[in-house]
Amino acid sequence: MFLVLFWIGSLVLRCTGADSNASCIKRERDALLKFKQGLTDPSNRLLSWEGEDCCSWEGVGCSNTTGHVIKLDLHNPSSWAMYYTPQREFCDSSCLGGDINPSLVNLTHLEYFDASMNNFSYAEIPSFLGSLKNLKYLDLGFAEFAGKVPHQLSNLSNLQHLDIRWNHLTIDNPGFVSSLSRLKHLDLSGLDASNASDWFHSINMIPSLVVLRLSNCGLSHTPLILDVNFTSLTFLVLSDNNFSSTIPRWLFNISSIRYFDLSSSAFQGPNFPQWLKTQTNLFKIDMSNASISDSIPDWFDNISLSIEDLDLSYNHITKNLPKFRKLSAHLYREIYLDSNKFEGPLDPFPSDVAILDVSNNFLSGHIRQTLTDNGMPHMRLLFLSNNQFSGGIPVYLCKMQDLNFLGLANNQLSGGVPECWQKRQGLLVMDLANNNLSGPIPVSMGSLQRLVSLHLENNNLQGEIPVSLKNLANLRALDLSGNSFSSTIPAWIGENLSSLKMFNLHSNMIHGEIPPQLCNLVSLRLLDLGRNTMTGAIPHCFGNFTAMIFNGTKSEKTWSRYPYPYLNYPHLAYDDHTLAFIKGTELDCSGAYSSPLCIESERDALLEFKRGLTDPLNLLSPGMQKCLKTAVRGRVLLAAIKLAMSSSLTFESNMATWEVPHHLGNLSNLQSLDLSTWNQDLTVENLDFVQSLSSLKYLELSGVILSNPENWLHSINMLPALVELHLSSCHILKISHFLHVNFTSLEVLDLSFNYFSSPIPRWLFNISKIQRLDLSSNAFQGSIPREMGNYSLVVVLDLSYNHLEGEVPEKLSNLCNLQDLNLANNHFSGESGHIPKSLGSLSSLASLHLQSNDMQGKTTPMSLIILDVHSNRIEGEIPLQLCYLASLRTLNLANNMVNGTLPTCFGNFTAMAVKTQDFGTITVILALPQLESCPEDALPKGHEKVEHPWKDGLEMFWFNIGLGMDFAAGFIRSL
C-alpha cells in the first residue's frame, strides 16, 4: 500500500507545474477540446480549458520534459459522502456528464486518468480506453457507469491502479484482470460479479497486487484450494458478499496481509477463526457480522500487540471481553466489540485506546474508577450503552480531555452526575439517558462549551435547570424529559441557546408560563413540553417556527451528521435532515364541558371552500351523507388551507381544475394527503410543499404528472413518518441511485407505470419495514439486486413488465413472509434455464407469476393458489406432483412445450369451479371460483379488503398447452 501511495505521489510531482520550455502539443490540445465538447459541465469546472497552453488547464498535467499530456484528473471535488445523502441533487450540480469522446485515444502518452465521482448517466465504460497503452492509473469509481466491464481493459498492460467501484456494472468474466500483470491496486467494490466464475484464479495471476477490494460484489464461493500467487497482498476486503462457507485455508498462507475485512460476508461460524493465531502482522481486522458465536481464545492476547483497529461487532461472541496489551509503537487503536453477548465486568484496557465500543452486550458490575493506569488520555469515543452496569459514574471521565462522545445510556447507573467537568474537555455528545441517576444537573456541565448534544432523559434528576448551561452555545439537542425538574422554563434558553434544534422537557414538573424568549429559537425542529404543570397561553410566535415546516434551501450544501461509526446511535444525531414537530398541541380542560361547537373561522373556511365548487348531485347538502365517487368540479380555494389542524385531505377521483397551492405545506398536522386522479392530466410542477408535512403518513399521487420536478425524491425523502407512498402512473423519468433514506417507516411503495430505465437503486433495500413493493410496468434494467433478499417483512413483490434479466437470486428464499411474487414479462433465465430452487422454500407463497420469461423449472412451493408460468420453455409431460397443490385455483402453462395427457387428478382440484379437456390439442380450461369474502376483522394489519374481479361470476382461463420434449426433470419439486 505504501508503495502504491509513493508511486501516485511521484506521478503527481512529475506532471504538475509544467516547465516553461515544455509547451502544449497541438494535437493533444485539440483532442482535449473535442473531449470537452462531449461533456456537460454545470459548474464550469472546465472553464480554464481555453487558450494555447493546455498544460495549464484545470486537471491537465504534462510531462516537464516532453510536453505530452500524461495526466487527466477530472474527479469531482465534492465529498464522496455526498453520494449517500438526499443532497445528491446538489452534488449533481458539480458532476461532469455527457459522453467520453474517443478523441482521448490521441493522448497516447496518458498515464493517469481519473473521472470518478461524476455522473455519466448509465453509459457504458468506453472500450477505447483499452487503447491507452501507457495508462498506469485509471479511476472511474462512483461515476454512474452501467453495463458490462469492457474486456478491452485487459490491454492496459502497464496499469498499476484500477478503481471502477460502485457503478452499475457487471463482470461475467474476470479473466480480463489476469493480463494486468503490473497491477498493484484493484477495487471492484459494488460491481455485480455474481455470475463470474474462477474470479480468484484470475486475480491470483497478479503477483504484484497490494490492494484488493471486492466488497459487495455478489460473490458466493471461494476455491477451497489455491496456490497463492499474490504474496505481496497487504489490503484484502471481501465484505458484504454471500460466501456461505467456512473461511478457505489458503487465506492463512498470505503472510503479508495487514488489513483484513471479511465483515458481513456470510462466512460461517461458529468458531473463532483459528488462522488468526499465525497472523502477527495484521493492523486491522474487521469480522463484524460474521456469525461467530464462540468465545475469544486465550491466544488472542498474543496478536493484539499489532492490531490497531479491531471490529468484531454484531456477532454472538460470549463470555468475557478479550484482554489487550499496549501497542508496541506510538499508535492509537480502535476497538469495536458492540452487539455481542459478552458478559462479566469491564476490565482495564490499554491507555492507547482511542475508540472503545462495547455497547449492546450483557456487561455488568461497576464501571471501574479507572479503566487504565493513567485514565486513557487519548480516548475519543467511549460507548458503554445498553449493558447492565450499575453504581456511579466514575470521576475519571472528567479527566479525558480528548473525549468527544460519551455513551452510558440504558444501564442501571445510580447516584448523581459527578461535579467535575472541565472547560478544556472536548465533549461533543453526552448520553446518560435511561438510568437511575438522581440529584441536580451539575453546574460544571456548563463548562463543556463544545457540547452539541446532551441527553439526560428518563432518570430521576431533580431541581432547577442550572443557569450555567447557558454557556453551551453550540448545543443542538437538549433532552431532559422523564425527570423531576421543578423549575420554570428559563428565559436564557431562548436567549443563549440559539442553535437548538431539539428541546424536550416532556414529563417533568415544570411550572409557570412558557417564556416568549423561546420564540428566538428559529432553528427549532422538535419542541416537547407535554405532561408538565404549566399555565398561561401558548405564545403566538410558535406558529412561526419555520424550521419545523421547511428543511433547508437548494443552496445549502452542508450535511451535519456525526461520522461513522456514530450512525449506530441515531438518538445522538438530531442532524440537519431531521424534520421535527411540535408535540402536545392539545390543552387540558377543566370544569364544565359540553359537546364542542364548530369553530367559527373553520366553518367560514368550509363555506368559502364550498362556494368555489360545482356540486350537481348536491353532495354537500346538510343531509347528504353518502360517500359517492361522483365528480365535484371547480377550483380548490385557499380557504381549504385555512383548516390548519386538518389531519386528512382528499381530492381523489375528482375533476377539480386547479394547481396544487404551495400553502398545502402549512398543514403541519396533515397525516393523509390524496391528490390521485385517473380522469385528467393534473400536473404538479414542484413538490417542495410536501417537505414541511412532517406528520404525513399516507401520500397518494397516482395519476398526477410529475415528469417535470427534478427533486421529487428529495422532497418526499423529507417525510420521516411516511408509511404509504403511491406514485403509480406519474410519468416520472428518473430516480436517484444515491440516497440516504429518511422515510424508514415506509411499508407500502408503489412506483408502477412510470418511465424508469435504470437498474433498481440499492437504497430501496435500506427500507427495512417494507411490506408491499410495486415496481411493475417500468423499464428497469439489469439484474435483481441481492439486497432484495433483506426484505424480511415483504408480503407483495411485483417486478413484472420491466427489462430485468439474469437469474432470480437465491437470497429471495429469505422472504419468509412473501405471499405474492410477480416476475412476469422480463428476461429472466435460470441456471441452465431452471427456476431457482430458492423459490421452493417460500412456504407462505400463494401466488407466483413467472410468465413470459426464459425459464425451465424444478421447483414450486406447495401452498400455491395461483401458478402462472406461461410463455417459457417448460418441456415434457405434466408432472403428477401438481396433484399435491390442493389449494390451486389458477394454473397457466400456456405457450410452453408440454406434451402427453392431462393427469386424472386434475378432476380432484376442488378449489377450481370448472374443468374440461380437449385432448386434440391438450387444451385445459380451468376456471376461478367465486371466492368467499374475508371478514374485515380477520384481515392482517396493513392489508385492505379487496373486491375480486370474479366476485359476481366465474372468469374463464383457457390454457393452450402445446407439444414439446421431455419433462423428466419435472416442474415441481419432488416430494
- Give residue 26's pLDDT band: very low, low, confident or very high (50, 70, 90): very high
How much is the pLDDT for 242?
A: 82
- Give residue 520's pLDDT band: very low, low, confident or very high (50, 70, 90): very high
Q: Tens digits of per-residue pLDDT, 639-685?
A: 333 334 344 444 433 333 345 656 666 677 778 887 776 545 677 77
Q: Pseudo-torsion of CA 439, 443, 447, 448, nearest 10°?
A: 20
How much is the pLDDT for 829?
A: 75
Please report whether residue 432 resides in a domain: no
How much is the pLDDT for 882?
A: 64
- Give residue 140's pLDDT band: very low, low, confident or very high (50, 70, 90): very high
Q: What is the CATH number of the domain that holds 146?
A: 3.80.10.10
How much is the pLDDT for 552?
A: 39
- Give residue 732's pLDDT band: very low, low, confident or very high (50, 70, 90): confident
Q: What is the mean pLDDT of residues 89-115?
A: 87
> Percent of the chain having pLDDT more than 70?
67
Q: Is 55 helix (H, G, I), strand (E, B) or coil?
A: helix
Residue reference for cell 379488503 = 945
CB count, 10 Å around CB of 22?
16
Q: What is the mean pLDDT of residues 5-19?
A: 43
Q: Tens digits of per-residue pLDDT, 469-492?
A: 999 999 999 999 999 999 999 999
* Sequence-ordered list of residues with C-beta below 8 angstroms from that of 408, at least 6 positions apart, any chain: 367, 384, 385, 389, 393, 431, 432, 435
| DSSP assignment letter at 674 | E
Q: Work out the angle at residue 465's Cα, subtended by the Cα atoms of residues 463 and 466, and round it to the nearest 5 degrees.
A: 105
Please report whether residue 405 resides in a domain: no
Cβ distance 915 to 926 under 8 Å?
Answer: yes
- Give residue 15's pLDDT band: very low, low, confident or very high (50, 70, 90): very low
Cβ distance 546 to 524 under 8 Å?
Answer: no
Q: How far apart are CA 132 and CA 836, in angstroms?
A: 42
- Give residue 4's pLDDT band: very low, low, confident or very high (50, 70, 90): very low
Q: Tens digits of per-residue pLDDT, 159-188?
A: 999 999 999 999 988 888 989 999 999 999
* Cell reading at 190: 459494488
CB count, 10 Å around CB of 44?
10
Q: Which amino acid appears at position 202 of this protein?
A: S
For residue 453, list its beta bridge partners: 429, 477
Burial environment of residue 921 by CB neighbours within 10 A (0 to 12, 13 to 18, 19 or more): exposed
* Pairwise pLDDT comparison (959 vs 766), residue with the higher score: 766
Lowest mean pLDDT among 42-51, 99-108, 331-340, 747-756: 331-340
β strands within 66-178, DSSP E: 69-73, 97-98, 112-114, 137-139, 146-148, 161-163, 168-170
Cβ distance 59 to 74 under 8 Å?
Answer: yes
Find the helix or strand (DSSP H, E) in which 477 lies: strand 477-479
How much is the pLDDT for 694?
A: 78
Whether a cis peptide bond, with omega within 30° of 0, leads into 616 is: no
How much is the pLDDT for 347?
A: 85
How much is the pLDDT for 906?
A: 59
Q: Tens digits of per-residue pLDDT, 800-810?
A: 999 888 888 87
How much is the pLDDT for 838?
A: 61
Q: How far apart are CA 677 and CA 689, in angstroms?
A: 19
Q: Which amino acid appears at position 295 of this protein?
A: S
> Percent of the chain having pLDDT more than 90?
33
- Give residue 701's pLDDT band: very low, low, confident or very high (50, 70, 90): confident
- Give residue 497's pLDDT band: very low, low, confident or very high (50, 70, 90): very high
Asked if residue 411 has pLDDT above 70, the reply is yes
CB count, 10 Å around CB of 693?
26
How many residues belong to the chain? 975
Asked if residue 436 has pLDDT above 90, the reply is yes
- Give residue 523's pLDDT band: very low, low, confident or very high (50, 70, 90): confident
How much is the pLDDT for 130?
A: 95
* Cell reading at 194: 455474481
For residue 213, list its beta bridge partners: 187, 237
Lowest mean pLDDT among 232-241, 263-272, 412-421, 903-912: 903-912
Whether a cis peptide bond, with omega within 30° of 0, leads into 565 is: yes
Q: Where are the alpha helices (DSSP H) in 284-323?
A: 300-303
Please report whether residue 845 resides in a domain: yes
- Give residue 452's pLDDT band: very low, low, confident or very high (50, 70, 90): very high
Q: Nearest CA to 504 among 481, 520, 482, 483? A: 481
Q: Which whole-number Å values give the CA distances from 846 to 400, 813, 864, 870, 974, in the listed order?
A: 59, 14, 4, 17, 19
- Give residue 14's pLDDT band: very low, low, confident or very high (50, 70, 90): very low
How much is the pLDDT for 204?
A: 87
Please report whether residue 343 resides in a domain: no
* Cell reading at 758: 435504470
Q: What is the mean pLDDT of residues 120-141?
A: 95
How much is the pLDDT for 907?
A: 58
Q: Which whole-number Å values give the CA distances from 438 to 275, 409, 434, in the listed order?
A: 49, 14, 12
Cβ distance 138 to 155 under 8 Å?
Answer: no
Output the CA torsion sign for 692, 693, 695, 697. Answer: negative
| DSSP assignment letter at 192 | B
| DSSP assignment letter at 621 | S
Q: Is 25 helix (H, G, I), strand (E, B) or coil?
A: coil
How much is the pLDDT for 669?
A: 74
Q: Tens digits of per-residue pLDDT, 279-320?
A: 778 889 998 888 888 898 888 877 777 788 999 998 889 999
Q: How far apart are CA 473 and CA 596, in angstroms?
A: 44
Q: What is the mean pLDDT of residues 338-346?
A: 92
Q: Tens digits of per-residue pLDDT, 834-845?
A: 566 666 667 778
CB count, 10 Å around CB of 468?
16
* Cell reading at 975: 416430494
Residue reference for cell 432553528 = 523
- Give residue 947's pLDDT band: very low, low, confident or very high (50, 70, 90): very low
Q: Nearest CA to 633 among 646, 643, 622, 620? A: 620
Q: How far apart are CA 211 and CA 812, in angstroms?
A: 32
Q: Tens digits of per-residue pLDDT, 844-878?
A: 787 888 877 777 654 444 455 566 666 666 666 66
Asked if residue 274 has pLDDT above 70, the reply is yes
* Number of domains within the chain: 2
Last residue of a domain, one of 151, 170, 189: 170
Residue reference for cell 483459528 = 274
For residue 868, list its beta bridge partners: 849, 892
Q: What is the mean pLDDT of residues 783-788?
A: 82
Cβ distance 575 to 551 under 8 Å?
Answer: no
Please report whether residue 31 resides in a domain: yes
Q: Tens digits of per-residue pLDDT, 589-602?
A: 222 223 344 555 55
How much is the pLDDT for 719?
A: 86
For residue 98, list its beta bridge partners: 39
Last residue of a domain, one of 121, 145, 170: 170
* Pairwise pLDDT comparison (88 vs 734), residue with the higher score: 734
Q: Is 934 helix (H, G, I), strand (E, B) or coil?
A: coil
Q: What is the mean pLDDT of residues 79-87?
A: 41
* Cell reading at 293: 458465536
How much is the pLDDT for 607?
A: 61
Asked if residue 455 has pLDDT above 90, the reply is yes
Lowest mean pLDDT among 436-440, 638-642, 758-762: 638-642
Last residue of a domain, one of 129, 152, 170: 170
* Pairwise pLDDT comparison (592 vs 829), residue with the higher score: 829
* Average pLDDT of the chain to the nearest whole number: 75
Please report whether residue 60 resides in a domain: yes
Range of the domain at 71: 1-170
Lowest mean pLDDT among 264-268, 423-427, 609-613, 914-918: 914-918
Q: How far apart are CA 456 and CA 441, in angstroms?
A: 9
* Cell reading at 879: 408432472
Please report whether residue 4 resides in a domain: yes
Q: Work out the angle at residue 825's Cα, subtended by the Cα atoms of residues 820 and 829, and round it to the nearest 5 degrees.
A: 90
Please report whether residue 479 resides in a domain: no
Asked if residue 638 has pLDDT above 50, the reply is no
Q: Which whole-number Å values give the CA distances from 680 to 181, 656, 702, 729, in the listed order?
A: 62, 9, 12, 12
Asked if residue 616 has pLDDT above 50, the reply is yes
Cβ distance 367 to 391 under 8 Å?
Answer: yes
* Cell reading at 196: 463470474
| DSSP assignment letter at 281 | S
* Pairwise pLDDT comparison (91 vs 731), residue with the higher score: 731
